[in-house]
Amino acid sequence: MLLEIFSICSLLSVAPFYDCSEKWEIRLYGDFPTIQCNNRDQHLVSLGCANLDRDLIHIVDIPDYRDEFGQTVLSHELEHLRCRCNFHN
């Protein structure tokens, strides 16, 4: 179930570190939906997904979750959009 949609200014690697002429959309879900991410349908079994083509992040609302590096799902997916890369490959 989709809980909320909000947008933020895009993030940059250098000062001023954001660009409000470009917006990124974040969709927050309360469950694990089937979504469109990176041109393929997938069931969101992970906690998040960044669609690099559409400046869109899908995340599942799991309060207080952090990965082994202490990073939240949102900060992890924001890094994908900021670098325009899939660093998992």
* Residue 89 placed within a domain: no
Task: Domain of residue 46: give its range.
Answer: 2-83
pLDDT single digits (tens) 13-43: 888 899 999 999 999 998 877 776 665 544 4
Alpha carbon dihedral 22, 25, 9, 83, in 10-degree steps, equals: -80
Interstrand relation of 34-37 and 40-43 (parallel, antiparallel or unpaired):
antiparallel
* Residue 71 placed within a domain: yes
pLDDT single digits (tens) 56-87: 999 988 878 888 888 888 998 999 899 888 77
Collapsing DSSP to helix, strand or coil, 71 comes out as coil
* Residue 24 placed within a domain: yes
Q: Which letter does DSSP use for residue 55 in this model?
A: T
d(CA 69, CA 81): 19
Mean predicted lDDT score pLDDT of the chain? 84
At 43 the pLDDT is 47
In the chain, the percentage of residues whose pLDDT exceeds 70 is 87
* Residue 88 placed within a domain: no
Q: Give me the number of domains the chain comprises.
A: 1
* Residue 34 placed within a domain: yes
